[in-house]
Chains A and B, each alone.
Chain A
Amino acid sequence: MRTFRVTAHRTKWIVMAVITIATAAVLSPWASSHPDGLERVAEDHGFLHQATAWNKLALIPGYELSSIKWTAASVGLTGLIGIAVMAGALWGLTRLLTRSGGGRNEQSAPDGIKLKHDNG
């Protein structure tokens, strides 16, 4: 039976990172502004007006920075902020998960040895 796994090829992940940055920064201003599936259904069935937003503290509501007049730049910058926040949050969370997993701290051991070696 053929089985598959996530690749460890560095180049492929770098390409993936470039695609992610390009999507967030360059492609995002050209997204369709038509209502999405759920909004379309809500509009057709007359309950779109029920939509509210409890979160009044959102830093960047609607993916646009109001201080920047040029929409493409505003949305693109928002995309970049978004992917940075996302990657940072997940990096921190998953690091915490592997750290608290127990018995997974051996990772730090080789680093320690290496450091000692460098000093000597």
Chain B
Amino acid sequence: MHIPDGFLDAKTWISTTIIGAGAVSYSLRKSKLSLEPNKIPMVALIGAFVFAAQMINFPIAGATSGHFLGGAMTSILFGPWIGTIVMAAVLLVQAIVFQDGGITVLGANILCTGFIGCFTGNGIYMLGIKLLKGRGRAALTFIASWMSIVAAASGVALLLALSGTFELATAIQAMVGWHMLIGIGEGVITMLVTGYLMERSTAIPARGGQAAYENVPRHRA
């Protein structure tokens, strides 16, 4: 779902560039507060995994393919701020080194697949964990990541409509339609990876809605 240059008109790409830059710099500030030094290799590896997995287009239907995005996965693992940073870094490398996704639309891509994807995925996951008291995590992860793709696709549709490329209702119908299928792949991959890399926390959850994956003591295998 990488928007190339030329799909968005000037007012849309300029404003999404500004908002995107703001979202990234704010995420950097928030990440600084929540990032522990022992997470560095994990974050770097997950970023590499997101890049690798995004290369793998899987066929869906009607001579169309889809690929993993990773916003839900990174934000479930590390929280939405670090998630946004990882996604922004992936999009940046893809656009600069591999010409995948445009330069003018980097802000738009970071906002849709990064920011919206991370916050939708993490938001639904955290809410579900709270409501279900931690039960049904696998199903919850699937739903959260599926929703993150649908939300990201709606974001892209909205920007296309704002650019006058096509009408909002048609744009949403077309984008969401395909990404409801692609979201299944996203859900499965996110479920498998987070299922493997996450474990029951014995630490007492921090107060004030603080995510439980933060400030946990490190132990070695």
Residues of A within 8 A of B (CB): 1-13, 15-17, 19-21, 23-24, 27-28, 31-38, 40-42, 44-45, 47, 50-55, 58-63, 75, 78-79, 82-91, 93-95, 97-98, 100-101, 104, 107
Residues of B near A9 (CB, < 8 A) are 199, 221
- Complexed CA–CA distance, A120 and B132 (Å): 56
- The reply to whether B57 and A31 contact each other, CB–CB distance below 8 Å, is yes
Return the contact of B103 from the options A16, A55, A78, A87 (Cβ within 8 A): A55
- Measured between beta carbons, the chain A residues less than 8 angstroms from B43 are 90, 94
Residue of B nearest to A75 (CB): B55
**Nearest CB of chain A from residue B188's CB, rounded to whole Å:** 14
B45 close to A20 (CB less than 8 A): yes
Closest to B38 in A: A8
Please determine whether A24 and B51 come into contact, CB atoms closer than 8 angstroms: yes
Q: Does B86 count as interface, using CB distance less than 8 angstroms?
A: yes
Q: How far, in Å, is B14 (CB) from chain A's closest CB?
A: 14
Q: Select B64's contact among A37, A55, A75, beta carbons within 8 Å.
A: A37
Q: How many A-B residue pairs have CB under 8 A?
A: 260
Interface code B40-83, partner A: CB below 8 Å = 1, 0 otherwise? 11111111111111011111001111110000000001100010
Contact of A3 among B78, B102, B166, B212 (CB under 8 A): B212
Q: List chain B residues, Cβ under 8 A from A107.
A: 37
Contact B62 A40, beta carbon cutoff 8 Å: yes
* B55 near A51: Cβ-Cβ < 8 Å: no
- Chain A residues near B99 (CB, 8 Å)? 53, 55, 58, 60-62
- Across the interface, B201 reaches (CB within 8 A) one of A5, A47, A61, namely A5
Q: Do A97 and B205 form a contact, CB below 8 Å, given A4-B129, A82-B51?
A: no
- CB pair B37 A104 closer than 8 Å: yes
Q: Chain B 78-112 against A: per-residue CB contact (8 Å), 1 yes, 0 no?
A: 10001001100110010111111011100000000
Q: B residues near A, CB below 8 A?
A: 1-7, 28, 31-33, 35-53, 55-59, 62-67, 77-78, 82, 85-86, 89-90, 93, 95-100, 102-104, 129-130, 133-135, 137, 153, 156, 165-166, 170-171, 174-175, 178-179, 182, 193, 196-201, 203, 205, 212-213, 216, 218-221
Tell me, in angstroms, the Cα distance from A52 to B6 when the chains sit together.
6
| CB closest residue in chain B, given A97 | B32
Could you tell me the distance between the alpha carbons of A65 and B88 in the complex, rounded to whole angstroms? 24
CB–CB B220/A8 < 8 A:
yes
Asked if A42 and B199 make an inter-chain contact with CB atoms under 8 angstroms apart, the answer reads no
Please tell me if the beta carbons of A97 and B62 are within 8 angstroms of each other in the complex: no
Q: Which residue of A lies closest to B133 (CB)?
A: A1
Residue of B at shortest CB range from A58? Answer: B99
Bound CA span A106–B165, Å:
53
Instruction: Please name all residues of chain A whose beta carbon is closer than 8 Å to the beta carbon of B77 when the two chains form the complex.
Output: 6
Known: A7-B197, A104-B37. A36 touches B57 (CB 8 A): yes
